[in-house]
Amino acid sequence: WQKIFMFPLWSKMAVFWNKMFLTIIVLLIVLFLDAVREVRKYSSVHVNEKAANVNSSAFDHIQMKLFRSQRNLYLSGFSLFLWLVLRRTVTLLTQLAKEMASHAALETQVNDATEAAKKYMAENERLQEALSGKGDSKKKMLTDATEEKLKEEVEHLKAELQKTSNAFHKAKTEVAAVKKQSEGLRREYDHLMKEYEQLQQSLNKAEDKKDL
């Protein structure tokens, strides 16, 4: 999946898709507001006609208009909400993918730093064993200087290792938080889809009764 989403084509199309997303959002908002206006309009007409006791055909026509406007209101409202949920889901998945990639890179860096520290420590031990039996002062001073340099390098590597480890744990915590947020959003999305299906079934039943 990372290889697929890393294609250069997606980055070129990103600007176009963002504009299209905003266009669809504006369109859904317009449809939602228009549906609200139609519902209010036919609701008031429905009450007035019912109170006036007009003929049944005109009353049924107004009732049909009211039902269609309510249906459009539900469809546009749920479409707008689900479109925003989809956008948020894509954003969370993108963040999760980036955090996972950063997690893998930090893990590799930690392993490299650990191997380098082990290598320097092994070299330090070999130098100490090779120069432990020689008492020449010049060689001893050279050995001391080499040991000090190696110690400094080891301390530096330990500090880098600690820093990388802290960053690794931080990235791991962020990945866990994003995963938890994604799971919560997925559960909420499933719940909304169930409610949407129930509402759609009730609308279909109401439309069937109206046709009868």
The predicted structure's pLDDT at residue 131: 63
Helix axes 8-52, 56-131, angle to 10 degrees: 150
The predicted structure's pLDDT at residue 49: 56
* Residue 22 domain flag: yes
* Residue 12 domain flag: yes
* Residue 201 domain flag: no
| Angle value at C-alpha 138, between 134 and 142, nearest 5 degrees | 90
Helix (H) or strand (E) holding 83: helix 56-131
* Residue 94 domain flag: yes
Q: How far apart are CA 93 and CA 43, in angstroms?
A: 43
Whether 78 and 136 have beta carbons less than 8 Å apart is answered as no
* Residue 182 domain flag: no
Q: Is 35 exposed, middle or buried (0-12, 13-18, 19+ CB in 10 A)?
A: buried
Q: Pull the structure tokens for residue 156.
A: 């530096």
Alpha carbon 41 to its chain centroid, in Å, reads 40
The predicted structure's pLDDT at residue 208: 63
If one counts the domains in the chain, the total is 1
- Global pTM exceeds 0.75: no
* Residue 11 domain flag: yes
The predicted structure's pLDDT at residue 38: 87
Domain span holding position 33:
1-111
The one-digit pLDDT tens for each residue of the chain (212 residues) are 667 766 777 777 777 888 888 888 899 899 999 989 888 888 876 666 555 555 667 777 778 888 888 888 899 889 889 988 888 888 888 888 788 878 777 888 878 878 887 887 887 777 777 666 554 555 556 666 777 787 888 788 888 888 877 777 787 887 777 788 878 777 877 777 787 778 777 776 766 665 55
Whether 168 and 111 have beta carbons less than 8 Å apart is answered as no
* Residue 178 domain flag: no
The predicted structure's pLDDT at residue 2: 64
Helix (H) or strand (E) holding 170: helix 137-211
